């Protein structure tokens, strides 16, 4: 009984009640009309997730982190509702740039098909570019790291080149490659290639010497040594570069799409922003945030699975 | 012909154009089926000697031969157990053993290799840990698994570099007995030739037929001592006998005599 009360009377649940109650306050007429039923609907979805989590996650610390995250989302929504729909702090002149949350969520629901099409376009593009970059970088990094002589020089070159923001390549890629799409893929290949290469090389160079001796003592041939010993031993380090490459790729893709694409999430946000439709633009921004978070989460699951042998 | 023969062996390490002598004029033999321990204090070059036998390092001059042939590189005729990282951390215990078998015994199917792995994990009392990763095992269990792999590889020679050096005293005695019972076997199959590096005098006496004592750096053979106790050995039957005390005292005095010589005969504080 006590633990049920403990898990119900929490700060996030308190914020949930506050968020519902402030919807009852009289509002001001805003330039963009609020649709509080959408905010309430979203809040109820969050609360179902919150309650499920608080009674199903066994470990105390991860349960708290999870419910706290939703608590922060509630706090943010409360602030947003108060600043826009309830007090109209920006006035009607700037009101278009700061629409109330209900309006944004409604737009999201109404426009879901277009949004999903654009998400799909961006994801296919990033998947192609990222895979090409990483698949090229890891074997090359293994080879260069293993041949220390070539590797030492290549390491410095890789560090130098990876410090150049791949944004620089965008104009060249647009001029040199036939379509804007291929130019975007190229930029993502570059963005994911250098960090993956640099981290693979440093991973190989830092493999515990005793592990290499252990492999040599088994009389492993070169290929077996490289792919059954050096590769798995460097994997923790390789993942650092791949993580970095993934987040840079997303940032670059969205920026590239904002420059000249005809589809994709960056295009979606940019087009509406250009026409002063910030309700749609914000809906797109939230979708980008959610998509990137989900992809990062899945990537971390993969990482945890492949590195489950690590303490 | 001896199984392993080391003759006038010199080994150098070079670092930034400076080279220093790690082993100086080492000669000894190991007969087929003999258990030989190499002892000496840390830094005397005993691990270097083992890397020569493993083929991980080549001598500056002199020779190290197996069955009369020079050791030119690592080979699957030798199984090895190191103090750390004998097992690959990313493979389960069972995969580690099967992977070793794959390297040394060609022409077996995947299934046969796993069967061999399971059989040897049973021998070292680890069947319940077959699907665990090394980090999930205690230090002693990891070394048991490494021994299982070395034995499963079915090599003529077993090279061990302070395999029990990082294990607590109680488990170390258990591991020594396990190793000895596996090596002595049932008397039907031929015994493996073992070179066992350690700095523990009691361990060396309990396990070996012969002890090669190395002096401090550059290491050279200080003394070769034959251990007279009959096999199969029982720790409690040996410990406390006059022969044991005499042997132990002899080794201890050699050990400290060597230390004293190296620091110029001054009083030794240990």
Domain at A186, CATH number: 1.10.3720.10
Contact B90 A309 (CB under 8 A): yes
Residue of B nearest to A224 (CA): B103
pLDDT digits (tens, 9 = 90+) for A219-228: 899 899 999 9
Is the pLDDT assigned to residue B258 strictly greater than 70? no
Contact A309 B84 (CB under 8 A): no
Rounded CA-CA distance B116/B94 in Å is 10
CA proximity to A67, closest of A18, A12, A15:
A12
| Same domain for A275 and A186 | yes
Whether A311 is covered by a domain: the verdict is no
What's the whole-number mean pLDDT along residues A178-201?
A: 91
Final residue in a domain of this structure, among A109, A131, A151: A109
User: Which of B74, B89, B133 comes nearest A217 by C-beta?
Assistant: B74
Rounded CA-CA distance A133/A161 in Å is 14
Final residue in a domain of this structure, among A87, A109, A131: A109
| Same domain for A141 and A197 | yes
| Same domain for A6 and A79 | yes
| Same domain for A126 and A194 | yes
Q: Where are the domains of chain B?
A: 1-68+187-270
Identify the burial level of A263 via C-beta atoms within 10 angstroms of its C-beta, where 0-12 means exposed, 13-18 middle and 19 or more buried.
middle
Contact A214 B82 (CB under 8 A): yes
Chain A / chain B CB contacts < 8 angstroms: 59
- Residue whose token pair is 């293993």: A146
Q: How far is A216 from chain B (nearest CA, A)?
A: 6
- Report CA-CA distances (Å) from A7 to A1, A47, A67: 10, 13, 10
Whether A70 is covered by a domain: the verdict is yes
Is the pLDDT assigned to residue B230 strictly greater than 50? yes
Q: How far is B85 from chain A (nearest CA, A)?
A: 6
Please report the pLDDT score of residue B261 as a whole number.
62
Crossing angle for the helix pair A11-22 and A60-81, to the nearest 10 degrees: 20
Confidence of residue A295 (pLDDT cuts 50, 70, 90): very high
Q: Which of A73-77, B204-208, B247-251 has the lowest mean pLDDT?
A: B247-251
Contact list in B for residue A309 (CB cut-off 8 A) is 89-91, 133-135
What strand order describes the sheet that includes B18-30?
Answer: B18-30, B4-15, B61-66, B69-70
> Parallel, antiparallel, or unpaired: how do β-strands B193-198 and B157-161 relate?
parallel
| Same domain for A163 and A95 | no
Residues on B contacting A at a C-beta cutoff of 8 Å:
51, 54, 56, 73-76, 78, 80, 82, 84-91, 99-100, 103-104, 133-135
Q: How far is A40 from chain B (nearest CA, A)?
A: 48
Both tokens of B268, joined, read 């030794």
Residue ranges of alpha helices (H) inside chain A are 2-8, 11-22, 36-56, 60-81, 91-94, 101-110, 112-146, 148-162, 169-176, 180-205, 209-217, 222-224, 231-260, 265-274, 278-306
Global ipTM: 0.87
Contact A210 B133 (CB under 8 A): no
Please report the pLDDT score of residue A269 as a whole number.
92
CA proximity to B35, closest of B221, B196, B153:
B196
Residue of A nearest to B81 (CA): A214
User: Which of A210, A229, A310 comes nearest B82 by C-beta?
Assistant: A210
The CATH T-level fold of domain B1-68+187-270 is: Rossmann fold (3.40.50)
Both tokens of A235, joined, read 């994997």
The DSSP symbol for A88 reads -
| Same domain for A118 and A101 | no
CA proximity to B89, closest of B102, B99, B80, B79:
B99
Half-sphere exposure of A286 (CA within 13 A, CB side): 14
Number of Cβ within a 10 Å radius of residue A87: 13
Are B230 and B241 in contact by the 8 Å Cβ rule? The answer is no
Whether A30 is covered by a domain: the verdict is yes
Q: By percentage, how much of chain A surpasses pLDDT 70?
A: 100
CA proximity to A185, closest of A196, A169, A163:
A169
Contact list in A for residue B78 (CB cut-off 8 A) is 217
pTM of the model: 0.86
Q: Which residues of B120-139 are buried (b: 16+ CB within 10 A; e: fewer)?
A: bbebbebeebbebbbeebeb
User: Which of A218, A233, A310 comes nearest B103 by C-beta?
Assistant: A218
Say whether residue A59 is in contact with chain B using an 8 A CB cutoff. Answer: no
Are A284 and A269 in contact by the 8 Å Cβ rule? The answer is yes
Please report the pLDDT score of residue B217 as a whole number.
66
Rounded CA-CA distance B84/A214 in Å is 9
| Same domain for A119 and A101 | no
Q: How far is A231 from chain B (nearest CA, A)?
A: 11
Count the domains in chain A.
2
Confidence of residue A14 (pLDDT cuts 50, 70, 90): very high
Range of the domain at A25: 2-109
Contact list in B for residue A311 (CB cut-off 8 A) is 135
Contact B90 A210 (CB under 8 A): no
Which SS3 state, helix, strand or coil, does residue B89 take?
A: coil
| Same domain for A205 and A117 | yes
| Contacts of residue A170, Cβ cutoff 8 Å, sequence gap at least 6 | A183, A187, A256, A259
User: Which of B76, B85, B99 comes nearest A211 by C-beta?
Assistant: B85
Is the pLDDT assigned to residue A142 strictly greater than 50? yes
Both tokens of B216, joined, read 């401090």
| Same domain for A44 and A22 | yes
Are B85 and A209 in contact by the 8 Å Cβ rule? The answer is no
Contact A213 B135 (CB under 8 A): no
Q: How far is A73 from chain B (nearest CA, A)?
A: 39
Contact A219 B133 (CB under 8 A): no
Please report the pLDDT score of residue B103 as a whole number.
93
Identify the burial level of A277 via C-beta atoms within 10 angstroms of its C-beta, where 0-12 means exposed, 13-18 middle and 19 or more buried.
middle
What's the whole-number mean pLDDT along residues B258-264?
A: 60
Are A22 and A81 in contact by the 8 Å Cβ rule? The answer is yes
Please report the pLDDT score of residue B269 as a whole number.
46
Q: How far is B249 from chain A (nearest CA, A)?
A: 35
pLDDT digits (tens, 9 = 90+) for B140-174: 999 999 999 999 999 999 999 999 998 898 889 99
What's the whole-number mean pLDDT along residues A197-207?
A: 92
| Same domain for A189 and A91 | no
Final residue in a domain of this structure, among A60, A76, A109: A109
- 3-state DSSP: chain B helix, strand, coil percent, rounded to 5? 40, 25, 40
pLDDT digits (tens, 9 = 90+) for B53-79: 999 999 999 999 999 999 998 888 899
CA proximity to B23, closest of B259, B254, B215:
B215
Both tokens of A80, joined, read 């947003």
Rounded CA-CA distance A136/A272 in Å is 37
Are B195 and B53 in contact by the 8 Å Cβ rule? The answer is yes
Give the torsion sign (CA, A170, A173, A178, A184): negative
Contact B90 A235 (CB under 8 A): yes
Rounded CA-CA distance A206/A233 in Å is 9
CA proximity to A127, closest of A307, A298, A304, A306:
A298
| Same domain for A105 and A120 | no
CA proximity to A119, closest of A267, A264, A306:
A264
| Same domain for A101 and A119 | no
Q: In the predicted model, what is the mean pLDDT of chain A?
A: 91
Is the pLDDT assigned to residue A229 strictly greater than 80? yes
Q: By percentage, how much of chain B surpasses pLDDT 70?
A: 95
- Report CA-CA distances (Å) from B100 to A64, A207, A218, A290, B178: 45, 20, 7, 46, 20
The beta strands (E) that lie in chain B are given as: 4-15, 18-30, 35-39, 61-66, 69-70, 78-81, 157-161, 193-198, 210-214, 221-226
CA proximity to A33, closest of A112, A111, A99:
A99
Are B151 and B187 in contact by the 8 Å Cβ rule? The answer is no
């Amino acid at each position: 009984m006590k633990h049920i009360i403990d898990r119900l009377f929490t700060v996030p649940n308190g914020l949930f009640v506050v968020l519902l109650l402030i919807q009852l306050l009289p509002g001001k007429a805003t330039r963009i009309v609020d649709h509080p039923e959408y905010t309430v609907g979203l809040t109820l979805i969050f609360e179902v997730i919150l309650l499920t989590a608080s009674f199903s996650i066994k470990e105390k610390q991860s349960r708290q982190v999870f419910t706290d995250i939703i608590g922060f989302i509630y706090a943010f929504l409360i602030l947003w509702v108060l600043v826009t729909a309830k007090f109209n702090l920006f006035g009607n002149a700037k009101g278009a740039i700061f629409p109330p949350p209900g309006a944004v969520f409604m737009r999201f629901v109404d426009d879901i098909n277009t949004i999903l099409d654009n998400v799909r376009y961006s994801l296919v593009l990033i998947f192609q570019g990222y895979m090409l970059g990483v698949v090229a970088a890891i074997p090359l990094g293994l080879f260069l790291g293993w041949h220390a002589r070539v590797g030492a020089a290549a390491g410095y070159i890789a560090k130098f080149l990876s410090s150049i923001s791949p944004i620089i390549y965008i104009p060249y890629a647009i001029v040199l490659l036939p379509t804007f799409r291929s130019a975007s893929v190229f930029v993502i290949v570059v963005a994911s290639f250098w960090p993956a290469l640099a981290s693979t090389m440093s991973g190989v160079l830092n493999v515990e010497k005793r592990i290499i001796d252990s492999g040599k003592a088994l009389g492993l041939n070169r290929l077996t040594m490289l792919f059954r010993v050096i590769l798995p031993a460097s994997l923790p380090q390789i993942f650092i570069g791949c993580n970095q490459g993934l987040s840079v790729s997303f940032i670059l893709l969205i920026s590239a799409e904002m420059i000249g694409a005809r589809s994709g999430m960056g295009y979606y946000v940019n087009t509406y922003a250009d026409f002063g439709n910030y309700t749609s633009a914000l809906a797109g921004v939230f979708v980008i945030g959610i998509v990137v978070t989900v992809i990062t989460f899945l990537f971390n699951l993969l990482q945890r699975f492949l590195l489950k042998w690590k303490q | 012909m001896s199984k392993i023969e080391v003759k006038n062996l010199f080994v150098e390490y070079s670092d930034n154009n400076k080279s220093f002598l790690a082993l100086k004029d080492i000669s000894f033999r190991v007969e087929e089926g003999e258990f030989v321990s190499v002892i000496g204090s840390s830094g005397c070059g005993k691990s270097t000697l083992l890397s020569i036998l493993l083929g991980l390092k080549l001598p500056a001059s002199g020779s190290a031969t197996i069955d009369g042939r020079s050791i030119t590189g690592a080979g699957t005729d030798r199984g090895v157990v190191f103090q750390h990282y004998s097992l690959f951390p990313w493979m389960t215990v069972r995969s580690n053993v099967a992977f070793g078998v794959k390297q040394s015994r060609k022409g077996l199917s995947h299934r046969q290799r796993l069967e061999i792995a399971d059989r040897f994990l049973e021998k070292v009392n680890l069947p319940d840990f077959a699907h665990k990763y090394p980090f999930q095992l205690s230090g002693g269990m990891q070394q048991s698994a490494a021994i299982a792999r070395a034995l499963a590889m079915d090599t003529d020679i077993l090279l061990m570099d302070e395999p029990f050096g990082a294990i607590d005293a109680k488990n170390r005695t258990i591991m020594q007995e396990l190793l000895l019972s596996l090596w002595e076997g049932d008397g039907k199959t031929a015994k493996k030739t073992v070179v066992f590096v350690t700095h523990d005098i009691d361990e060396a006496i309990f396990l070996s037929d012969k002890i090669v004592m190395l002096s401090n750096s550059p290491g050279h053979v200080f003394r070769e001592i034959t251990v007279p106790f009959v096999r199969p050995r029982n720790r409690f039957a040996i410990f406390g006998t006059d022969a044991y005390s005499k042997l132990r005292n002899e080794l201890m005095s050699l050990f400290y005599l060597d230390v004293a010589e190296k620091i110029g005969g001054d009083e030794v504080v240990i």
